[in-house]
Amino acid sequence: MLQLRHILLILIALIVIPQSVSAYLDPGVGSMIWQLLVAVGLGLVFTLKMYWQKLKDRFRPSADGHEE
């Protein structure tokens, strides 16, 4: 039943969505895409750095000499 629902949804989407689309892309779009890629890249670097630091702290011996 779920598979039939997915097939019907795809068929309806193919019927409703127009086949050709005309769009104007001005020069500012390239700048927006570039900013998006830079932001995603920096966010990914920050996230990986944060989790890498947590992973290193987990395996590093504590300052008082006792292991957890």
Which helix (H) or strand (E) is 45 found in, with range? helix 27-59
The count of other CB atoms within 10 Å of the CB of residue 68 is 5
The token duo for 66 is 């006792």
Length of the chain equals 68
Q: Model's pTM, two decimal places?
A: 0.51
18: region left, alpha or beta (phi > 0 left; psi from -120 to 50 alpha): beta
- What span, in angstroms and rounded, lies between the C-alpha atoms of 54 and 63? 16
**Banded model confidence at residue 67, pLDDT cuts 50, 70, 90:** low
Write the pLDDT tens digit of every residue in 32-61.
Answer: 999 999 999 999 999 999 999 999 988 888
Residue 53 confidence (pLDDT): 92
